[in-house]
Structure 1
Amino acid sequence: MSLDFPPLKNDLLLRAARGEQTERAPVWVMRQAGRYLPEFREVRAKHGFFDVCRTPELATEVTLQPIRRYAGLLDAAIIFSDILVVPQAMGMTVEMNPGPHFPEPLNTPADVAKLRAHVDVEQELGYVFAAITRARRELDGAVPLIGFCGAPWTLFSYMVEGETSRTYTKAKTWLFKYPEESKALLMRIADVCVDFLVGQIKAGAQLVQVFDSWAGELAPHHFREYALPALKHIASSVRAQLVVQNLAPVPMTLFPKGATALLPELAEYAGYDVIGIDWCIDPVDARKAVGGLVALQGNLDPNVLYGGREAIEREVKRMCERFKGGKAPKAWIANLGHGITPGVDPEDMRFFLECVHKYSKA
């Protein structure tokens, strides 16, 4: 399927994701369409969170809000959705009160039987595809559009814990008590993620990112045993499906928050073009760890945005200098080390973007 979209005017992000050294670092922010924006809060005052996700017109509006507000400063839009639409597609109920809550989590492997045996992503997640196509058209080529999904381990954790956890006791109990059943569920989630990402690319996504928000909660040997095979499966299977369906390849980004010790293995074996790093590693060390295999993305601590203009400028300058230091890969994408938080002043976000433009020039 070929969709007719307006020509892209700003391809900085895509060039960096392909490993090209760019005239400055492209910049976007995780959760850039979100609660820190008053225009987003106005939408949410009238609509439930998942109602916005499921309504293409609303999802498109929210996706474009930061692009309009920060015209000329952001180098990408990311579709407004949530990683937990995949468990919903698999048959689980997810509520936002205000954080995610699963009324019926998977307590034992026997509960897996409650999940849909087969997930038709067009039927269950077609609203995301419709939002992507609509947003891609309404962007009018201003910047690329990013699609995404959660990583299997992160989704597994939510599905078993039933909510955000500090200890991950239930999810890790599964790994210790039910290792084979855990691996089977992780791969089952991964298969849905593959179909979901391919569907997003068909709908118009020009880069896709896999969010492994809880990667750092696993011991390195457990990450290798449980999380990494599913991540590799997603990367290789998405690429294979694009070939089969005669679709052009798009760059793929992995954000394994907290898994800095595993960067060398992730760069060599996971199969992604870009790896996102959090603020707990120096970009120079990250470059050494990944060699010339991937581009990097990151990594300012989101809390810097509460520190005032002097701190923002100082830390952005430092980040840019560290990313530009060292050896290959020279390509990098400026971002926060995690998502922007709700209390940030939108004008401080603007100042952050302006500082990246100023200090990231090659």
Structure 2
Amino acid sequence: MLKNDLFLKALKGETVARPPVWMMRQAGRYLPEFMEIRKKYDFFTRCQTPELASEITVQPIRRYGMDAAILFSDILVIPQAMNIEVQMKPNFGPYLPNPIRTSQDLERVIVPDVNDSLGYVMQAIKATKEKLDNAVPLIGFAGSPWTILCYCVQGQGSKNFDKAKELCFTRPVVAHELLQRITDTTIAYLKAKVAAGVDAVQVFDSWGGMLSPVDYQEFSWRYIQQIIDALKDHAPVIVFGKGCWFALGEMAKSGASALGVDWTCSARNARYLTGGKITLQGNFDPARLLSPPAEIKKMVRQMIDAFGKDRYIVNLGHGILPHIPVANAKAFIDAVKEYSV
């Protein structure tokens, strides 16, 4: 039995004394103990070595005592498993030297056996569960098919993912086939994660906000819905679409257990758009963690008051930034733990 099941209670919509808290990207780059590991091992070695991935996952829990852990990994392990080369270049980010832009390129893209190609992730889950010793739930995650396509087609990060959009709008048959293969792989991957022991899963649609509402339905949401339908009876599913406030109404009817909200959508609007009946997660501006700790605490209390303590998970509106002082991250977590109505 979990010693702290606050996070799972919130996902079920149960009444809680205070909302649970965790932070996107909490395992990693802002922590001094993570930086020590980073000096010794490159990015994908950290992801692919179960002992390292599990250690990085539990570091923030040891330091701050969040109400959930999220497995240290990366959304781009999926294209790697699909026979698409992914490099992580220092001071640059992800780089895919052979992007998928034609039907010929698509021929080399496979739907893999995830337990074979991504078995190291399942081993990391098992190692993490041992280290957590039932202290808190463990979250597994994947990128949305559209967000993965963005990298596979663009070949790197981008401010507008113009090449990804060009593929969708000029060769939609190729785009949809690639999206479906990513979706099939992602469903198998998340099911394997649940079987390995994660307590919930989150789908990150980091680049969903790049699309218009109409294009979002065609090239992103229909594939996320497939993932929700396949997973919801196995584990709670959280969907986080950055910049996707326009889709919150449809998301709320999807069968997902919770929806992530970024900092550009107010609590009031998020509750209104979702009908007030689904658990919401968010939406503190990550850059606001640069504010003085006392101010962070005040803003967190105001945020909880705005969302309400029930059907709510305190989180950032996107991943924590690398240069956040550890004392400021602590203030964020402590403010939630100290909250009382």
Out of 197, 203, 209, which is 1:210 matched to? 203
Matched, 1:97 2:71: no
1:298-343, Cα deviation, whole Å (9 max, x unpaired): 0000001111123312321221111119xxxx41100000000100
d(CA) in 1 for partners of 2:103, 2:315? 38
TM-score (normalised: structure 2): 0.97
d(CA) in 2 for partners of 1:274, 1:109? 36
d(CA) in 2 for partners of 1:164, 1:219? 19
Matched, 1:264 2:249: yes
Name the structure 2 match of 1:246.
none
- The DSSP-based 3-state class of the residue aligned with 1:114 is coil
Q: What 5-or-longer segments of structure 1 have no aligned partner?
A: 1-6, 243-248
Name the structure 1 match of 2:324.
344
Output the amino acid matched with 2:278. Answer: V
d(CA) in 1 for partners of 2:102, 2:211? 20
Out of 255, 263, 273, which is 1:289 matched to? 273
Cα contact 1:316–1:355 (8 A) shared by 2: yes
Output the amino acid matched with 2:240. Answer: F
d(CA) in 2 for partners of 1:129, 1:297? 26
Out of 148, 172, 180, which is 1:179 matched to? 172
d(CA) in 2 for partners of 1:84, 1:323? 32
Name the structure 2 match of 1:245.
none
d(CA) in 1 for partners of 2:15, 2:122? 31
Matched, 1:8 2:13: no
Output the amino acid matched with 1:79. Answer: L
Q: CA shift at 1:292, angstroms?
A: 4.1
- The DSSP-based 3-state class of the residue aligned with 2:265 is coil
Out of 312, 324, 346, which is 2:308 matched to? 324
1:5-41, Cα deviation, whole Å (9 max, x unpaired): xx21000000101111211010000000111001001
d(CA) in 2 for partners of 1:338, 1:292? 22
Name the structure 2 match of 1:251.
236
Q: CA shift at 1:293, angstroms?
A: 4.1
1:233-278, Cα deviation, whole Å (9 max, x unpaired): 1111224xx6xxxxxx32110001100011101111x331100000
Name the structure 1 match of 2:187.
194
Name the structure 2 match of 1:221.
214
Cα contact 2:294–2:331 (8 A) shared by 1: no
**Alignment of structure 1 residues 291-306 onto 2, 5 Å:** 291-306=275-290
Out of 2, 17, 23, which is 1:23 matched to? 17
Name the structure 2 match of 1:3.
none
d(CA) in 1 for partners of 2:313, 2:179? 29
Cα root mean square deviation, aligned = 1.2
Q: CA shift at 1:109, angstroms?
A: 2.9
d(CA) in 2 for partners of 1:114, 1:89? 12
**Alignment of structure 1 residues 66-85 onto 2, 5 Å:** 66-71=60-65, 74-85=66-77
Q: CA shift at 1:168, angstroms?
A: 1.0
**Alignment of structure 1 residues 233-252 onto 2, 5 Å:** 233-239=226-232, 249-252=234-237
d(CA) in 2 for partners of 1:311, 1:304? 9
- The DSSP-based 3-state class of the residue aligned with 1:44 is helix
Name the structure 2 match of 1:277.
261
d(CA) in 2 for partners of 1:349, 1:165? 28
1:77-108, Cα deviation, whole Å (9 max, x unpaired): 11100000000000011111121111111122
User: Greater shift after overlay, 147-156 or 288-297?
Assistant: 288-297
Cα contact 2:106–2:174 (8 A) shared by 1: no
Out of 152, 165, 168, which is 1:159 matched to? 152
Q: CA shift at 1:232, angstroms?
A: 0.6
Output the amino acid matched with 1:233. Answer: Q
d(CA) in 1 for partners of 2:86, 2:322? 21
Name the structure 2 match of 1:354.
334
TM-score (normalised: structure 1): 0.91
Output the amino acid matched with 2:265. Answer: I
d(CA) in 2 for partners of 1:172, 1:346? 38
d(CA) in 1 for partners of 2:102, 2:183? 19
Output the amino acid matched with 1:152. Answer: P
- The DSSP-based 3-state class of the residue aligned with 1:80 is coil
- The DSSP-based 3-state class of the residue aligned with 1:21 is coil
Cα contact 1:27–1:353 (8 A) shared by 2: yes
Name the structure 2 match of 1:4.
none
Q: CA shift at 1:294, angstroms?
A: 1.9
d(CA) in 1 for partners of 2:218, 2:83? 26
